[in-house]
Structure 1
Amino acid sequence: MQWTRDSWRAYPIKQHPVYPCENTLKENLERLEKLPPLVFAGEVRQLKKSLAKVAKKEAFLLQGGDCAESFENFGANNIRDMFKILLQMAIVLTFAGGCPVVKIGRIAGQFAKPRSADYEELNGVSLPSYRGDIINGFEFSEKARIADPKRMLEAYYQSATTLNLLRGFAKGGLADLREVQRWNLGFVKKSELHKQYEDLSEKISSALAFMEACGINANNTPNLREVSLYTSHEALLLPYEEALTRVDSLSGDFYDCSAHMLWIGERTREIDGAHVHFLSGVKNPLGVKIGPSAKAQDIIRLSNKLNPNNEEGRLNIIIRMGADKIASNLPSIFKDLKKEGLDLIYSIDPMHGNTVKAGDFKTREFDKIMQEVRYFFEVAISEGVYPGGVHLEMTGQDVTECTGGASNVTMQNLQNRYETQCDPRLNADQALELAFLIADLLKRARK
C-alpha cells in the first residue's frame, strides 16, 4: 500500500483509545490540522545531522525527561529545572567523557503512555486505564477515564508553550558555559555530588579563561553561550501524529511536526502494525524500543522498514531488557547485527526493564539501573559496537521514586515525594550521579 498520512488506519493497531463520539474526534482533529507546526523541518534535519555523528562514533546521545507530562504539573519552574539537569548531565559527559553530546528531551509532547491492561481495578471498581493526559484523566472516576479528543488540543498548546520557553533558555543566556556553576539545583548542592560537580565547574571555568586569553569567547563563539535541545516523545496516539504531519515546502517530504524525534514502544513495534507503518513515511529521526524477547532478525526487519536507505542518524535502537537479562540476551544480537552492515545508533534505556513493586508503589533500584548501563557498555565494547546513547525517565525535581543512589532514597521514604503519574523517575541527584558514572564508561568506549 502506498504511504499517505492516514494509510496507517488500514493496519492493525494496539494501545489505541476508543473515543465515544467519532464526530467530536473529527472536529478536534480538523482544528489540530489547521494549527502551526510545533517544530520545523529544518530543525529536524539538523538533529539528523547531529545523530549521524553519533552513528559515526563522534558524539553521544543523551535523551531524557518525564515519564509522562501532565497538565496539572505544568509550569515554568519544572521546565527550567529539567533544562538545567539536562545541561548538567551533558556538560559532565562532554567534559569528563571527552565527547560532544546530542541533547534530546522527553518533553513538549510526552503525554501518551502504553498500558499493560485496558482496565484497572480499585476497591472492586473497574475503569478504563489511565493512558496519559492527552487521552484521559488520572483521577479514578468514570468521567475522568473517558477518552476526550479535546485533550489533544490542550496537549498541543502546552507543548507549544514548553517549546517557546526551551528555545528561550537555549539561546537566551541560561546555557552560557560561564554560568555552569549556576546550573546546579538547590537540593543537589546539599549532596556529596556537589563537590564533584563543583570541581568539574572550576576546571571548565579555567579552560574558558585560557580560551578567552587566546581570543575565543562567548561573543565570537556562539557555541559557548547557546545549545541545541531537541524534543521527542513516543508516537503512540496516531490521530494526533497524523494531524501534525506536514509537507515540507522545500523538499516535498512529510515530517511529523509534533517533535524532532519520535519513537515506537516495545508494545507497538509489530512490523505489520499501524505505528511502524505510519513512522516509515515521515522523515524524522526515529527510535524503537527493544525488549528482552527481541531477536536480531526483528531489528533487521524494523531497520529495512523504517530505514530502507540505511541513512546515518535515521534510526536509534533503544535497548530495554533489564539488568538481569541484558548480559545473556544482547551479545548474540550485536554479533548478528554486525554482519548486516546497518547504520544504526544503539542506546540504552535502563529504566523500563527494572521496575518492581514496593507496596502500593512502583519503583526502580538505582543499582539495577546502573548495572544495566554498565552491561550495555561492556557488551557493546566486547562486540565492537559503539554504545551511542542513554534514554532516561527523570526529572529536575527532588522526588523520591527510585531507590538508592547518593540521595539515599529507601523503600521506607518512597512516599515522601512520590509524584509521578505513571512510572518512577530518577531525581536530579540520581541523574547527575548516573552521568558521572556513564562519563567514565564513555571514555573507555571511545579509546
Structure 2
Amino acid sequence: MSDGTVETVPGWRTLVARQRPPWPDEARLGEVVADLAASPPLVTPDECDALTARLAQVAEGKAFLLQGGDCAERLDQASAPAIERKLGLLRKMSAILPLPVVTVGRIAGQYAKPRSWPTETVDGRTLPVYRGDAVNGTAFTDVERWPDPTRLRRVYDASKYTVDVLRGGMFVSHEGLLLDYEEALTRRDLRTGRRYAGSGHLLWIGDRTRQLDGAHVAYFASIGNPIAVKLGPSATAEHALALIDRLDPDRTPGRLTFVVRLGARRVRDLLPELVEKVTASGAAVAWVCDPMHGNTFQAPSRHKTRRFEDVLAEVTGFLEVHRALGTHAGGLHVELTGEDVTECVGAGVGFDDLHRRYESACDPRLNAGQSLELAFLLADLLR
C-alpha cells in the first residue's frame, strides 16, 4: 500500500545529475512533474519485493535472469500486438533455457537514452541530439529536437498502457535516467515506511551515470526496488565495491545486480578481477551479461550495427569466466524486438540487408529469429 503522495528524495538535487536534458522551460517541467506526482504509480511495493525475492534466487545461483526489450521505446509504437510480441518472444526464450528463469522486460519506461554528445550536426546544421521520446523526437528539425517536458506525461500514459497489457505476465524495467520523472513517481509504502520508485519494478543506473558522488547513485540508494548498475570497461573492482556499500549496505540478496558490458574482446581480461573481489567481499550480487553495448560499430552503409557472432562471443566469455571462478553466471540483458527487423548482422542478416528494416530509434536490436538462436546457443553453453 502506498500513501499516494510524491516522495522528495533528500539530497539528489544538490548533486550533479549527469545526462539531465537541458529543459528550456523549467516552469513547464515543474507543472508536468506536479501532475505526475498526483498520478497513481505504475507498480506496487509488493510487486517490487516479489522481484527482489526472485532475483535473490539468481544471486544465490538457483535461477537465471533474462532481461530484454527495445533499445528505446517509441511513443507511437505502444500497441497491444507489439507489446504481446515482445512478451511472447521473451517467454519462448525463457522456455529454451535449462534452468528456472526470471523474465524482466526492458519495457514500460525505456523512453530516455544517455548520449555521448549534447548535439549533432547534419549537412552543416547543428541541433540537440535525440535523447529518447521522453525528451524529444527523432526528426532533424528545430521543433522535434526541442526538449519538451510534456513528453514525460505521454511517457507515463504509454507506460501505464503497457503495464496494463502485461499485468501479471512480466516484470518491467528501464534505465532510471530522468530523475525528475522518477522522483515524481516515488511513493512511500505505509506498512514499511520505505520509498519505492513507482515507475517500474527494476531500475538501473547506466555506465555513464554511476558516479559515487552523483545524483543517480544518491536517488537509487533511497528506494526499496531491486536495482542494477551497468559496468563498462572503465569500471574497477574498487568502484564496484564502493557501489555495493552505497546501494546495498545491508547486503540483501536480490537487491543489487551488476550488468557488465565489457565487449567480446575484453570480457575475459576485465571480468575476473571484478567477480573475484566482489565475491571475496561477501556481497550477494547477481552478475548479468549485456553483450550488446560493448560490440557496436558502424557498417559500411553508416548504419550503427552489431555482429551476432560478437554478441555470442561476449556471452561465451562471460560464462567461461564464471565457470573458471566457480561463480554463478546469473543472466542475460539484451536489446531485442519481436519484429522482423534488420539491424544486427549475422544469423540471417547481411550488411546489404540493413537498409531493409532498420527501425530502431537509437541502437540496433536483435530480431526475433536472432534472439531465439541466441537462446538456443546459450542453453547449450549453460548445459
Shift of 1:6: 5.0
Unaligned residue ranges in structure 1 (runs of 5+): 171-227
Secondary structure at the aligned position of 1:404 is classed as coil
Q: Which has the larger radius of gyration?
A: 1
The one-letter amino acid paired with 1:144 is: E
Query: Alpha-carbon deviations, 1:164-223, whole Å to 9, x = none?
Result: 1112xx5xxxxxxxxxxxxxxxxxxxxxxxxxxxxxxxxxxxxxxxxxxxxxxxxxxxxx
Match of 2:215 in 1: 274
Q: How big is the shift at 1:73?
A: 2.1
Aligned residue-pair number? 376
Task: Letter of the 1:305 partner, please give it.
Answer: R
Contact residue 347 and residue 391 of structure 1 kept, 8 A? yes
> Which of 303, 307, 316 is the aligned partner of 1:374?
316
Q: Distance in 2 between matches of 1:364 and 1:417?
A: 15
- Matched with 2:145 is 145
Measured in 1, the distance between the counterparts of 2:78 and 2:109 equals: 12
CA contact (8 A) 2:8 2:183 kept: no
| TM-aligned CA deviation for residue 149 of structure 1 | 0.8
State the secondary structure of the residue aligned to 1:255.
strand
How far 1:310 sits from its partner (Å)?
0.4
Task: Letter of the 2:325 partner, please give it.
Answer: E
Contact 1:6/1:242 (CA < 8 Å) preserved in 2?
no
In 1, the alpha carbon distance for the partners of 2:161 and 2:25 equals: 29
Structure 1 position 61 matched with structure 2 position 69: no
What residue identity is the alignment partner of 2:276? K
Q: Which residue of 2 aligns with 1:33?
A: 37
Q: Distance in 2 between matches of 1:295 and 1:122?
A: 37
| Alpha-carbon distance in 2 for matches of 1:33, 1:332 | 42
Work out whether 1:421 is the aligned partner of 2:364: no
AA paired with 2:177? Answer: L
Tell me the distance in 1 between the aligned counterparts of 2:16 and 2:267.
30
Residue type at the aligned position of 1:136: N
- 2:134 corresponds in structure 1 to 134
Pairwise CA distance, 1:4: 4.9
Moved more, 256-265 or 72-81: 72-81
CA distance in 2, matches of 1:160, 1:253: 23
Summarize deviations over 1:294-353 as a string: whole Å, max 9, x none.
Answer: 111110000110000000000000010100111111122222222211111000000000
Task: Please say which of residues 72-81 and 369-378 is displaced more in the overlay.
Answer: 72-81
Q: Superposition pairs for residues 73-222 of structure 1, below 5 Å?
A: 73-93=77-97, 97=98, 99-167=99-167, 170=168
State the match for 1:232 in structure 2.
173
C-alpha distance in 2, partners of 1:316/1:325?
20
Q: How big is the shift at 1:105?
A: 0.2
* Partner of residue 288, structure 1: 229
1:439 aligns with 2:355: no
Contact 2:68 2:105 in 1 (8 A): yes
Aligned residue in 1 for 2:4: none
Which position in structure 2 is the counterpart of 1:212? Answer: none
The structure where helix makes up a greater share of residues is 1
Q: What is the CA deviation profile of residues 251-309 of structure 1, one whole-angstrom value per residue up to 9, with x for unaligned ones?
A: 11100010000000000000110101100000000010000111111100001100000
Residue 331 of structure 1 pairs with residue 335 of structure 2: no
Residue 411 of structure 1: aligned partner: 351
Q: 1:350, 1:373 within 8 Å by CA — same for their partners in 2?
A: yes
Q: Deviations over 1:108-150 (max 9, x none)?
A: 0000000010001101001011000001111111111111111
Instruction: Read off the aligned partner of 1:84 and give its amino acid letter.
Output: G
Structure 1 residues 39-75: Cα deviation after superposition (integer angstroms, max 9, x where no partner)? 0000001000111111111111000000000112221
8 Å contact kept, 1:32–1:153: yes
- 1:238-317 to 2 correspondence within 5 Å? 238-317=179-258
2:364 corresponds to 1:360: no
1:108 counterpart letter in structure 2: A
Give the superposition deviation at 1:76: 1.5
Structure 1: which amino acid aligns with 2:190?
S
Identify which of 335, 346, 356 aligns with 1:393: 335
Q: Which runs of 4+ in 1 moved over 4 A?
A: none
What is the rounded CA distance, in whole Å, between the counterparts of 2:118 and 2:56 in structure 1? 38
Aligned to 1:21: 25
Instruction: State the percentage of identical aligned residues.
Output: 46
Q: Contact 1:232–1:262 (CA<8 Å) still a contact in 2? A: yes
CA distance in 1, matches of 2:277, 2:223: 28
> How many Å separate the matches in 2 of 1:74 and 1:49?
29
TM norm structure 2: 0.97
Give the TM-score of the pair, scaled to structure 1: 0.83
Gaps of at least 5 residues in structure 2 are 1-6
Give, as a single letter, the amino acid of the residue that structure 2 aligns with 1:320: R
- Write the deviation string for residues 224-247 of structure 1: whole angstroms up to 9, x where unpaired: xxxx51000000000000000000
Distance in 2 (CA, whole Å) between partners of 1:331 and 1:59 is 21
Letter of the 1:109 partner, please give it: G
CA deviation digits over 1:64-109, x for unaligned, max 9?
000000112221211010011011001111xxx1x11101000000
CA distance in 2, matches of 1:79, 1:340: 40
Distance of 1:270 and 1:160 partners within structure 2:
30
